[in-house]
Amino acid sequence: MDLAALSDPEDSEEQRARLRASADRDASVLATFANDGSVVIEPSGGLETESADPLAPVEPIPPEPVVTYRGRAVRTTVRLRFPFDIEGIKVRSVSMVPPTFADVEALTAGRISELEMFARMCGLPVMVLRAMRWPDVETVTLFARHLAPDLQRG
């Protein structure tokens, strides 16, 4: 493949067409699972999809803004029944603030787990919450859910 041809705008459309044709040839068979668990193989016929062009330029994701809150947020501190050290850091209690709307939105969209949202509320890595003993996890979860909006949890 000539890399110089990829940078030439006139050749890029032709190159994309060749790549699409090659992909269609390679994906000429579509396998699906039937309700009884058996595999059904059908010709794909080029698989028409509405997905974005994989060779189109991707816009960079803008960096997250730095946010500084003014005033005092409601901060809840939970003293752990089973304090521990992790990576040389003593964890004796966990303080948390209400979640941001972005975190709630990410949770409801399935982009983060509830545990990840709790970690963000505490300003801690998820590994710290995972290291807790179960009674402490229950207590932290109770307080975190009190600070978060009432969400449908599966």
| Cβ count within 10 A of residue 11 | 14
Distances in whole angstroms, Cα of residue 122 to Cα of each of 7, 73, 98, 112: 47, 12, 9, 15
- pTM of full prediction above 0.85: no
The mean of the pLDDT values for the chain is 74
The per-residue pLDDT for range 15-46, each reduced to its tens digit, is 555 555 555 544 444 444 444 444 444 444 44
Residue 152: per-residue pLDDT = 63
CA 125 centroid distance within chain: 15
d(CA 132, CA 148): 20
Residue 24: per-residue pLDDT = 52
Question: Once rounded to an integer, what is the mean pLDDT over residues 86-104?
Answer: 93
Q: Which amino acid is at 18?
A: R
Q: Burial, 37: exposed, middle or buried (Cβ in 10 Å; 0-12, 13-18, 19+)?
A: exposed
Residue 118: per-residue pLDDT = 95
Q: In which band, very low, low, confident or very high, does the pLDDT at 71 lie, cut at 50, 70 and 90?
A: confident
Q: Which residues contact 38 (CB under 8 A, 6 or more apart)?
A: none
SS3 state at 85: strand
pLDDT higher than threshold 70 for residue 76: yes
